[in-house]
Each structure stands twice: as C-alpha cells, then as structure tokens.
Amino acid sequence: MAAIETYPDELKYHAEHDWARIEDGEAVLGITWFAQDSLGELVHFEPPEPGATILKDEPYGEVESVKAVSDLISPLSGEVVEVNQKAVEAPETVNEDPYGEGWLVRIRLSDPGEADSLLGVAAYKQILEEQ
C-alpha cells in the first residue's frame, strides 16, 4: 500500500523529514518517505488556513496516525496559497505517494533565499543513516 523508499533528486529536504519543490517563487511542501513510514498509515491531516503565514523551521500543521501525532515543520517561509484537499479527505494518499498526490500545501515564498539552507538529497540521506 505504501510507496517504495525513494528520495527524488530534484527536491530540497529539511532535517525534520519534510521536502520542498520550488518553482517560480512558490513551493509545494510535503513529508518524506521516512516520515510517513515512521508514523504509519495517516488518519488525519490538520492543515493551515489558506492565506495563513508559515515560517521556516516552525510548525504549520499536524499529521496523525493511530498511535502518533506529528507537527509538520516548514522548510520555508511564506503564505499558504493552496491546501491539498485530497490529503485532507484521504490522508493515506500521503503514504501511497508522498511526493506526488500526497503533497500537503503550496506556499508563495516570502524569502526565496532560504532555499539555500535546505539539504540536497545526498545530505538528507546522510541524516537518515544517522537515525
């Protein structure tokens, strides 16, 4: 049911197991394969409101499995433009396709320079080794 373990090369990563896909001053955010595997099948996604401001390294929402709840830590700062309703209505989508259909929010970046401090796939995989 869940995806096989992958970490796409073209994404940027955050040590708290979140990814960002950056395009034209906006970023799509989600959680990595490792995060969804640790939590187990998700039963609930508590998103921010569209229009809300979220900040780099701060929590912007929550995901829950049966036995655990986890803050979603934002890799970047910005304004929430869109929330993925599919993730809200069928949270298991995040387990099945964490980088595609299981995206969580799209934001307009307030400081595109922040992307420089994010990790590339090799650096993120290094962190996973150390878990």
**Residue 38 or 110 having the CB closest to other proteins:** 38
Q: How far apart are CA 72 and CA 78, in angstroms?
A: 15
| Selection from 52, 3, 5 nearest residue 29 by Cα | 52
Residue showing tokens 């829950």: 64
**Residue 2 or 55 having the CB closest to other proteins:** 2
State residue 14 phi and psi, 5-degree precision. Answer: -125, 145
Q: How far apart are CA 44 and CA 72, in angstroms?
A: 12
Residue among 38, 101, 112, 120 that touches other proteins (CB under 8 A):
38
Residue among 16, 26, 41, 82 that touches other proteins (CB under 8 A):
41
Q: Is 39 in the site for other proteins (CB under 8 A)?
A: yes
Q: Is 67 in the site for other proteins (CB under 8 A)?
A: yes
Q: Which range of residues in 10-18, 21-29, 58-66, 73-81 is near other proteins by CB under 8 A?
A: 58-66
| Selection from 24, 14, 119 nearest residue 56 by Cα | 14
Residue showing tokens 């307009």: 108
Least Å distance between CB 54 and other proteins? 18
> Which residues bind to other proteins, rule: CB under 8 A?
1-2, 37-41, 43-44, 64-69, 91-92, 95
